[in-house]
Structure 1
């Protein structure tokens, strides 16, 4: 019986990779495959294995491919690509992490600075008085800012303000650039009861009534708060009742300002209409400034109470509505 030896063609490749394959798979020194024999039931020889076919070789004109270091370069390239994607998708370990802002507790706030001494404040009052009396607009504004830093946020309550200094502060209430610091200073000074008399004598009641509508809301609310404090003294209440624009100004401010501003305006109106009956007993001299009818003011107050208003404002509003009904 004649056996057929498989014919193996060995082809030389210029590629080192394929040369390696041919040397290991098709090498003549390797163990040859057994010859194919006829299959019989008694023989259980496994079917002959087909040798792996090498891929087609590149043209000889092309330069030789790199040697087996190519898989290592591909592996490193794949590794660097994976690492770069990971760095893009997730933050780097050394990258700064944005932290959520924490809520500030009252204990974390710095303590208020101590009030300025009386001697230093007297010297400051004297210097500011000269600047507000004879200085230019820029000098007066600088003096107001200096007073603001000295009186806030811890104003003294046991020091009287010089009348000339108070008049300089009151004059600047009608100046747009100086209204903000002037209202802060006026309110801080009026916290002391003695300075309320000085403010009324300096014309602060009329200045606030006439300038509040032209101020920005924060400055207007501070001015109304100072006006309410001035109404706690007899001459201040008399001044606000006698002013012809006091009622329409307060009614307008009730519809424009926030809850705190409404509270101050209602309190001033309560002073005005709460003293009408007393003024009638005195000959109605102090009631001449009340020009708005009580029923119109009552409707404005009721409308203001329907919106945002503080608890004190609602209580003052109820008292005012009762006084208005009695005067209708």
Structure 2
């Protein structure tokens, strides 16, 4: 017995996609290409929103608050806060620093005695403190005319060749030598030889003050004799002429003028062993550089003295008038 099963009706599955694909298949015998599907036009698209939706009350209040804060934080150019007013300069001050009070004679005597005791100390800090005390007391007012003892002068001279003491000690020595009585004490304490031997190691400011002190000590007879008798006087002054500026150069020329003075005794003149022609050449070279008018006049007198001593040597060709004319 045969069983009959129901026949299923099979239908081809089709959709718009496949239908479109089947219709758009290119045929080699087709005379024209099929047209592509057209894109939707702009008129078919929905129009954009042309108006912004209104803000809520909370949003509008927040926006106005932020704008008001921005205007407060960054003022507008036309705001009175932004306007710059011209500054009025302060009137010139008539206040002036008063000069330091003058030191009495009794106080100055106590200061000198205290410094003398400290300079005899073995501590470097005590000696430096004594020099600083003397510098503050004597240098601002050199007209005090203090009476310096030989012990105090020796303590000052002992610090001329030290690294930390050369600066204050040269200031103090120059302030003391302004008084003629202290020049005698300085020469007796050995200041002439100490200055001459310490000059090569000094810095230019300290060397300039030391040369000025030496020039003052040459104004007393024993000081000039000490300078002529020292073997390093002429070499040191020649070196200083080539190294120093106008003021230091002038002091070195003055010291050389004392050494080669024609008015000294034959004994003092015989103590000078430096050849005058070499000194004359050094003076001419020094005057060609930076020098003051007074230094040129002193140099011209020194060249004349050297010329007279040589009596027609090589220095006779140097005309002192030409040296003065360069000023």
Q: Would the TM-score normalized by the shorter structure come out above 0.5?
A: yes
Q: Which runs of 4+ in 1 moved over 6 A?
A: 62-65, 90-94, 96-99
Q: In the alignment, does 2:264 pair up with 1:278?
A: yes
Q: Which runs of 5+ in 2 are unaligned?
A: 1-47, 311-327
Rounded Cα–Cα distance in structure 1 between residues aligned with 2:179 and 2:208: 19
1:288 aligned onto 2:271: yes
Q: TM-score, normalised by structure 1?
A: 0.68
Contact 1:228 1:268 in 2 (8 A): yes
- Equivalent residue of 1:174, what SS? coil
Q: 1:240 matched to which residue of 2?
A: 227
The answer as to 2:179 corresponding to 1:153 is no
- Deviations for 1:44-88, whole angstroms, at most 9, x for unmatched residues? xxxxxxxxxx98235x8x98795599689668747865649x9xx
The Cα offsets for residues 225-275 of structure 1, whole Å up to 9 and x where unpaired, read as 000000000010011111111111111112222211111111111111125
Q: Distance in 1 between matches of 2:119 and 2:295?
A: 36
Instruction: Please give the residue correspondences for 1:73-112 in structure 2 after superposition, counting only pairs within 5 Å.
Output: 77=70, 81=74, 83=76, 110=97, 112=99
Counterpart CA distance in 2 for 1:73 and 1:114 is 66
Give the C-alpha shift of residue 113 in structure 1. 3.3
What is the distance in 1 between the residues matched to 2:159 and 2:187? 15
Whether the 8 Å contact between 2:224 and 2:259 is mirrored in structure 1 is: yes
Pick which of 303-312 and 250-259 moved more.
Answer: 303-312
Deviation digits for residues 99-141 of structure 1, max 9, x if unmatched? 9xx9x9xx98645435422222222222211211234111111
Greater Rg over alpha carbons, structure? 2
In structure 2, what is the equivalent of residue 206 of structure 1?
A: 193
TM-score, normalised to structure 2, is 0.68
The answer to whether the aligner puts 1:323 opposite 2:305 as a matched pair is yes
Offset of residue 216 of structure 1: 1.1
Q: CA RMSD in A?
A: 3.7
Match of 1:172, SS?
Answer: coil
Partners of 1:191 and 1:114 in 2: CA distance: 21
Change (3 A) 1:73 1:116: closer
